[in-house]
Chains A and B, each alone.
Chain A
Amino acid sequence: MNKLIISAALVLLLAGCSGNWGWYVVNPTTEGGMINLKFLISGLYYTILLSVTAISISIVVGLIIALPALSKNRYMRGINRFYVEIVRAVPILVLILWVYYGMPQLAGIAINVFWAGVIALALSDSAFEAEIFRAGIQSVNKGQYEAAHTISLNYPDTMRFVILPQAIRRVLPALGNQLVYMLKMSSLVSVIGMQELTRKANELVVTEYRPLEVYTILVLEYLVLILVVSAGVRWLENRMKTDERG
């Protein structure tokens, strides 16, 4: 809450620091400013939808990719390494362009901007999620597997009830990081025309020709969004901690 007040104070400060500012473009007390402001904020919908969809997919894919890394079989581990190394090496922007312009040619299907963005972001992030899950799972004591063995749990039950709940608790800060990262990287999907925050700002800059003010609002939009997400992740962490310790 304090952070929000500080952000608001920052806006006022910037507003007063030079005669070159043209805050009228986003002045909520004028009709035009209000329309512009609503236009900018309307990008929030796709930024959130895109990021949340992409991270949900990448968490599932990341987990599936992480599991063979824990195998005793070196070919299984090879599959994991291959995927992680390849996917991790492609820049997100390049992946977005490749998926949006390349996939229709490759697969012969038209892909809309939203799903192209989701696929590119999810694919890129899944390699990182896989590494996070691998680290988390490997941090769980061997004795936990042995205890599960002695009470006759099979592999899926061992993972589901014993190992993953502990691993996920430990990697929660890292998963929160990835969510923040994803929210920021979703701005790159603006290049293929996704109507999210950054795209809206770009469009307004073109019509109003007030980049400083519009992009400042854009910065604040991301700031508020990410502070809210951080607080949410922290809350979740605390809640899970009390689960364990009572």
Chain B
Amino acid sequence: MQSSEAETIIRVENVSKNFGDFQALKSVSLDVSLGERVVICGPSGSGKSTLIRCINGLEEHESGDIVVDGVTLSQSATSLRDIKARVGMVFQQFNLFPHLTVLENLTLGPIRARKMSKPDADALAMKYLERVRIPEQAAKYPPQLSGGQQQRVAIARSLCMEPKIMLFDEPTSALDPEMINEVLEVMAELATSGMTMICVTHETGFARRVADKMVFMDYGEIVEMAEPEKFFTSPDSQRCRDFLDKILHH
């Protein structure tokens, strides 16, 4: 649990975003402290993915401010570069590079963007592959791995850029049920190590165990924001209660 005076590392202020006529985000504000673990949930189309995609510049927000570790996000090249260097992201569909080996997937960023030497990058990659517990797969190609292994490679690939913040966009939604836990384990370990994380996920067990702050979004707005204990037992809003009923009792 973070104390309120902890350093704010992400500040999202009145951010709005439209896709044509569809308002994906309606003046959303969210502060995240250094080391804080935030879990965002909500029905599909509620804007949760859009919100985290705005934070690392994958989507361009139309109004409001996003400040990450002192850098204000704009479409200028330097701002984007500085934000990208600070924020890692893991996708629902893994998005590994299928034509590169696992090791090459991991070292591409360090070598090309961080200008590391190949031996240094290899060593770094092996360190993180060990952390996600699949060093023996280094020479394989992503399509040869199981979904859970691929997602762990994707996490390791992000970590190789040594980001200050990790974003997870429904990291277990594309996985077979028996593979979800191995990914959540790795994420929980990462949380223990003090990484600042924002996870979009409906894995309530993981959320209860790891989250410092739960956020519920619906129709492009943050409807509920609370500590997990309060969030799961007595949320203020009816919409959040309805949603939790749906995902908890089945």
Q: Are B141 and A161 in contact (CB under 8 A)?
A: no
Q: Give chain A residues whose Cβ lies under 8 Å from the Cβ of B58.
A: 146, 149-150
Q: Are B141 and A151 in contact (CB under 8 A)?
A: no
Q: Are A152 and B141 in contact (CB under 8 A)?
A: no
A143 in the interface (beta carbon within 8 A)? yes
From A143, A146, A245, B141 is in contact (CB under 8 Å) with: A245
- Per DSSP, are chain A's interface residues mostly helix, strand or loop, or mixed? helix
Chain A residue nearest in CB terms to B89? A150
Q: Are B112 and A245 in contact (CB under 8 A)?
A: no
Instruction: Assess A152 versus B113: contact at CB under 8 Å? Given A144-B97, A147-B91.
Output: yes
Q: Are A147 and B141 in contact (CB under 8 A)?
A: no
CA of A54 to CA of B95, assembled, Å: 37
Interface residues as binary, A163-183 with B (CB distance below 8 Å gives 1, 0 otherwise): 001100100000000000000
Chain A residue nearest in CB terms to B112? A157
CA of A151 to CA of B113, assembled, Å: 8
A108 in the interface (beta carbon within 8 A)? no
Q: Are B144 and A161 in contact (CB under 8 A)?
A: no
Instruction: Assess A149 versus B84: contact at CB under 8 Å? Given A244-B141, A244-B143.
Output: yes
Q: Give chain A residues whose Cβ lies under 8 Å from the Cβ of B57.
A: 149
Give the B interface residue count (CB, 8 A): 31
Best-buried of B81, B85, B96, B109 by chain A (most CB within 10 Å): B109
A162 in the interface (beta carbon within 8 A)? yes
Q: Give chain A residues whose Cβ lies under 8 Å from the Cβ of B114.
A: 152
Interface residues as binary, A205-236 with B (CB distance below 8 Å gives 1, 0 otherwise): 00000000000000000000000000000000
CA of A150 to CA of B157, assembled, Å: 10
Instruction: Assess A157 versus B144: contact at CB under 8 Å? Given A149-B58, A152-B84.
Output: no
From A149, A161, A246, B112 is in contact (CB under 8 Å) with: A161
Q: Give chain B residues whose Cβ lies under 8 Å from the Cβ of A166.
A: 97-99
From B87, B93, B112, B143, A143 is in contact (CB under 8 Å) with: B93
B147 in the interface (beta carbon within 8 A)? no
Q: Are B99 and A150 in contact (CB under 8 A)?
A: no
Q: Give chain A residues whose Cβ lies under 8 Å from the Cβ of B108.
A: 151, 153, 161-162
Interface residues as binary, A120-162 with B (CB distance below 8 Å gives 1, 0 otherwise): 0000000000000000000001011011011111100100011
Chain B residue nearest in CB terms to A161? B108
CA of A162 to CA of B161, assembled, Å: 17
Instruction: Assess A152 versus B98: contact at CB under 8 Å? Given A143-B93, A246-B140.
Output: no
Q: Are B95 and A144 in contact (CB under 8 A)?
A: yes
**25 residue pairs A–B, Cβ–Cβ below 8 Å:** A143-B93, A143-B95, A144-B95, A146-B91, A147-B95, A147-B154, A149-B56, A149-B84, A150-B56, A150-B58, A150-B84, A151-B113, A151-B157, A151-B158, A151-B160, A152-B113, A152-B114, A166-B97, A166-B98, A169-B99, A243-B99, A243-B141, A245-B141, A245-B144, A246-B141
Binding site for A on B (CB under 8 A): 56-58, 81, 84-85, 87-89, 91, 93, 95-100, 108-109, 112-114, 140-141, 143-144, 154, 157-158, 160-161
Binding site for B on A (CB under 8 A): 141, 143-144, 146-147, 149-154, 157, 161-162, 165-166, 169, 243-246
